[in-house]
Amino acid sequence: MEIRKNAAAGTLESSDVFICVEPYGQLSVQIQSVVQEQYMEAVSNTVFQVLEEFEVKSGKIQVNDRGALDCVIRARMETAIRRGGSR
């Protein structure tokens, strides 16, 4: 899936994650998390797994995690990708 327009999903509420995607020449992923000291690796792994599942090869991806569980990060990533991307 290719990111063709700016899109966002999620919120900055506790246990949620706010994702922004926008078209970009290469893949750039920025992650901020309120639990980054403990779970940065896990959050990052989930973000990259979803990008791989949806075959996103380029785009600027910004992730602002407010302590979301894995299933929430997956859901918000998928929503943002579907909203901003097309096959």
Partner 1 sequence: MMRRTMLFLPGNTPNMLINGDVLGADSIIFDLEDAVAPDEKDAARILVRNTLKYQKSSACETIIRINPLDFGEWKADLEEVIPYKPDLIMPAKTSSAQDIQIIADYMAQIEEQAKIQVGSTGILPLVETVLGVEKAFEIASAHKRVAGLFLGGEDLTADLHCKRTREGQEIFYARSRIVCAARACGLEAYDTPFTDVEDMQGLVKDSQFARSLGFSGKAVISPRHVETVNALFSPAPEEIEYAHEVVEAIQEGKRQGKGAVSLRGKMIDAPIVKRAEQILDMERQMFGGDFH
Interface with partner 1 (CB under 8 A):
9-10, 13-16, 68-72, 74-76, 78-79, 82-83
Q: Which is nearer to partner 1, 10 or 59 (CB)?
A: 10
Question: Least distance to partner 1 from the beta carbon of 69, Å?
Answer: 6
The helix/strand/coil state of 40 is helix
Q: Which is nearer to partner 1, 15 or 30 (CB)?
A: 15
Question: Least distance to partner 1 from the beta carbon of 49, Å?
Answer: 13
Residue 47 CB neighbour total at 10 angstroms: 21
Cβ-proximal residues to 67 (8 Å cutoff; 6+ apart), any chain: 14, 15, 33, 34, 35
